[in-house]
Amino acid sequence: MASTSRRTSTFPPRNEQEQEEIWKPMLDNISSGKRLPEKSLLVLGGTPDTQRDFLESVANDASSNRRPPDRARRPPIANQFALGYTYQDVLDTDHEDTLARMSLYLLAQPSPSFTPLIKPYLNPRTLPHMLVVILLDWNHPWLWVRQLRDWIRVLRSLIVSLDDASKEVLEENIVALQDKGRTQGSEPSAIAMDTVKVPLGPGEWDEPLGIPLCVVCQNADKIEALEKERGWKEEQFDFILQYLRTILLKHGASLVYTMPSAPGSLQTLIHSTLGIKSLLKQEKLKHNVTDRDRVLVPPNWDSWAKIRILRDGFDVEGVSQKWSADIEIPQHMKLAVNGTAMEDGQVDTAGDADEEEAGAPSATAIFEDTIRNPDQDFGLSAVHSKQTNKIEVESKDTQDFLAGQLAQLELLRLDDEAEQKMKASKKKDEPMYRTYPENANGVLEEHIGPVQFNMGGIQVNADEMVKHLQDREANRTVSPEGPSTPPPPHQEPKMDNDKLASFFTSLMSKGSNSPRGG
């Protein structure tokens, strides 16, 4: 029986440490291959409700009616206080594969106190995969340019405060963003022209941020209400669009109008900007500047010439130059981002462009003078930049206000004294007794009854006696032939002496002819 020979290895034996070094790189490669691409979305502006509407529009694919599976349930959203956070998993068209995971950071107010919260998330690892979204609302479009100015200042103050490594990444992003989508020859026959880059036009990328920017104007369905209820014309809507496009052209930003019922190409715009591509469905962005409620301006598409076509007479150069002065970083923002407070007596003189010298209004002031709040009789250009979305009310000095009130009280006191004097004089002129009108006699008689008294054992009614006396006086002044003129008050009526004599004589004669006994 042939003996079996045992095969032996010619390699020297390896210990456990060498075996671990072999398996560790292999496992790392496998885990990194399954790791989801991480994207970051910095959402600025809006309210907690409008931010939720935006997240809902980004998560839902408007072109697909298929309901996502249960595993695609929405994670909770924490956006009520300061810096909010949530995340979304981007699924493929068939909702089977996860393409990427987006981390969304939400900030509603451009307050210098909140901006340092964003700084830790701007680092060399996240900056190449980040998109900034600024939310505007068609419920108050007259505030748009001021809101954009405040948010751009916040972003610039944050970028200035980053470390050198992050700034290098931003420089690389600017070069990549400027070249993205600017090559000529989109058809297969023009392969030789694919590497030809279109040079930048006037006003393009004058103020690059290093982070792609997208401005979303929500609730575009309110445009019709502004036209019907507020009397807005087509010229005003065109002016707003031209103003926004001119401003965003300087930052290489994109623009899109959305409404809750029709988010349009919002999801496609965000995914394409972040580099999220689906293998099953490839959508291309198609610009739209004619439908006023479905505007879409992709990045690196717009130009001054296209902006002028919309409506003649718009000063593109002037607005572009003034905007660069508007977005200068104020001193209080620089100090807030660096973690220091402004000292007492220190004056903020850096970059409040809306308070420039007379005769040179800022870009913000020009917009607010043209697009006014329909509920106010004046523009919002007088509102200070530190009081965003509020109307400033100037109050009087305390001492001046009290002095005015004292004068009013003195006038009231004089009126009271004059009224009291008038009442006192009237009371002095009134008689000691009070007379009642004739129509009040019946009322008094009902309450107190007839007045009677006893005279010589005979009960006499005072009212009847007064009435008889009044009738007697009336008969004395009226003769059978007619009314005669009454005697003057100072002359008493005289009796006829002859009649009196004859009267007494007749009495005496009657008395003498009568019998003595009876």
Query: At a CB cut-off of 8 Å and minimum separation 6, what does 265 contact?
Result: 256, 283, 285, 286, 296
pLDDT value at residue 191: 43
What residues does 459 pair with on adjacent strands? 454
pLDDT value at residue 354: 44
Angle CA 348–353–359, to nearest 5: 125
Residue 472 token pair: 């007697």
Residue 445 token pair: 């008689």
What is the gyration radius of the CA atoms in the chain, in angstroms?
50
pLDDT value at residue 42: 94
CB atoms within 10 A of CB 66: 9
pLDDT value at residue 4: 46
Q: Say if CB 297 and CB 128 are below 8 A apart.
A: no
pLDDT value at residue 379: 41
Name residues of the chain where pLDDT drops below 70.
Answer: 1-21, 26-34, 61-73, 94-96, 181-197, 279-282, 334-359, 377-393, 429-457, 460, 477-498, 500, 504, 507-518
The span from the CA of 168 to the CA of 164, in Å, is 6
